[in-house]
Amino acid sequence: MLRRLLFAVLLVVGCRPSDRPTVRPSRIVSLLPSFTELLFAIGAGDRVVGRTQWCDYPPAALSIPSVGDGLPPNIEAVAARKPDLVVLYNAGPNVTAAKQLERIGIRTVLLDLNRLEDLGPAARTLGRLTGLEQQAESLARAMDSLTSTNLHQPPPTSTVAFIVWDNPPIIIGHGSYLDQLATQAGARNVFGDVTAPSAQVSLETIVARDPQWIAVLSDSAVPPAFAKRREWRAVRAVREGHFLLLPGSLFGRPGPRSGQAIQQLRMRLQRDGVGAQHAAPLHQTSR
């Protein structure tokens, strides 16, 4: 009698629903474009039933219903999709949203995705959760290789500064994955000594450090508006029109296509490297 009671207690205690799912999630809501891409990349795309409005890759994702901009996540919209797993980016408002979702019985997972190193673990976690460990592992290995110390990596051949905003000037520093992209592509971020992911700097610092390239996240083919401003023309790269216009979808966040992004960037830099003055390829303008 006592043994049965003990067994029953253990059963109840041991089987808390949020701890040990017995069923693989089949209705996943992804609240970050990179996670949407990862889920598709490991083969779980058909299980995604909700995405943010920013999730635009792969094209198949566009047919999935949107649950809003995700900033912050709309709890009701997410719940309306009746998910059994919600994947969120691990940052402030999302932590609160995750708690709220858990409170109504929806399972959530918060993943870090700030730098290239986070891609592998994120892929592996998603693989584990969806039961697609093998596919996830191969993807994770490819992601890991992006940041593995490459002994054959040649020294950087060009210098770059990432400008996020012009007034006041905000640059990308060492803490950001864009900085990592640049390093992998063979360019040195002139603001690599700034440890923060982004920081406000004086325009004269940019002029003094004289990067060969000014990189901006832009989907357009024309140089950014600040290129016309008089004070920005003190920067040599602005005067000479050496802009790297990086489409947001590919370069804006770490994701399965980060390797592709690095490749593109490397090719661009090598093609239009120091000395090449007459090139007029895609996304570069010269004046």
Partner 1 sequence: MKWTLLAVLAVVALVLSVVLGPAAVPLGELLRSDIVWNLRAPRALLAFLVGGSLGVAGAALQALVRNPLADPFLLGLSGGAGLGAVLAIALHLSGPWALPIAAFIGALAALGLVYRLGLIGGASLDPRILLLGGVAIGAFAAAITTAIVSLADAAELRNAFLWLWGGLSGASWDSVLLVALYAPIPLVVLMAASRPLDLLALGEESATYLGADVERVKRRVYLAASLLTAAAVAVSGVIGFVGLVVPHIARLTWGHRHRSLLPAAFLGGGALLAFADTLARTVVAPRELPVGVVTALIGVPVFALLLRRWTIA
Which CB, 144 or 231, lies closer to partner 1?
Answer: 231
Smallest distance, Å, CB 15 to partner 1? Answer: 41
| 208 near partner 1, judged by CB under 8 A | yes
Number of residues engaging partner 1 in binding (CB under 8 A): 30
Would you count residue 207 as binding partner 1 (CB under 8 A)?
Answer: yes
Q: Which two tokens mark 3?
A: 């043994």
Would you count residue 92 as binding partner 1 (CB under 8 A)?
Answer: no
d(CA 70, CA 32): 8
Tokens of 171: 């640059």
The DSSP element (H or E) to which 215 belongs, if any, is strand 213-217
Residues 215-244 that bind partner 1 (CB under 8 A): 225-226, 228-231, 233-234
Looking at 134, 150, 153, 200, which residue binds partner 1 (CB under 8 A)? 200
Residue 249 DSSP label = H
CA separation for the pair 253, 70 (Å, rounded): 15
Which part of the chain contacts partner 1 (CB under 8 A), choosing from 74-82, 113-121, 166-174, 256-264? 166-174
Q: How far is the CB of 133 from partner 1 (least distance, A)?
A: 35
Q: Assess whether the previous peptide bond of 17 is cis (omega < 30° from 0).
A: no
- Contact between 193 and 174 (Cβ < 8 Å): yes
Pattern of binders to partner 1 over 11-40, x per CB under 8 A?
Answer: ------------------------------
Q: Pairing relation of β-strands 108-111 and 28-30?
A: unpaired
Cross-strand bridge partners of residue 110: 88
Contact residues toward partner 1 (CB under 8 A) are 69, 71, 164-165, 167-170, 191, 193-194, 196, 199-205, 207-209, 225-226, 228-231, 233-234
